[in-house]
Amino acid sequence: MNAYAQAQSAYAPAAAPTRTARSAEYEVIARISHRLKKAIKSNDFPALAEALYENNKLWTALAVDVMDENNLLPDQLRAQIVYLADFTRLHTQKVLRKQETAVPLLEINAMILGGLKQQGDTT
């Protein structure tokens, strides 16, 4: 490769756009929601249990994040996220015991995705 080609390659725009924290959050929630939906539709309990585990990890991470004193979200929103994380944990246990359906968890994720999309910057 000659010097011109190397310079052109070095200064060419990146192939993938830079992702924001919000867009990464959106992508993770969407991926987990897709897995939940697929497992519910196919009535595949092992896949559902795996998707529930991932969803629970996600909500635990969100709760930990908003409990950080340096988190800039409004207090009311932070409290709502902690409540949803707690609900998710408890409801997941009921789903795993086959006492409840996972649909409410999917609906919560869909509401969060809608909120993130409304705020923009999810690309």
DSSP conformation letters of 6-65: HHHHHHSPPSSPPPPHHHHHHHHHHHHHHHHHHHHHHT-HHHHHHHHHHHHHHHHHHHHH
Within-domain flag for 3: no
Within-domain flag for 9: no
Q: Which domain holds residue 53?
A: 19-118
H or E segment to which residue 122 belongs:
none
Measured distance CA(73)–CA(70) in Å, rounded: 9
Within-domain flag for 70: yes
The pLDDT tens digits of the residues spanning 79-117 come to 999 999 999 999 999 999 999 999 999 999 999 999 888
Within-domain flag for 113: yes
> Which residue would you say has higher pLDDT here, 117 or 55?
55
Within-domain flag for 8: no
Quote the pTM value.
0.79
Number of folded domains that form the chain:
1
Average pLDDT of the residues in 5-26: 63
pLDDT of 7 reads 47
Within-domain flag for 44: yes
Within-domain flag for 35: yes
Within-domain flag for 25: yes
Pair 32, 112: CB distance under 8 Å: no
CA angle (58, 64, 69) in 5-degree steps: 145
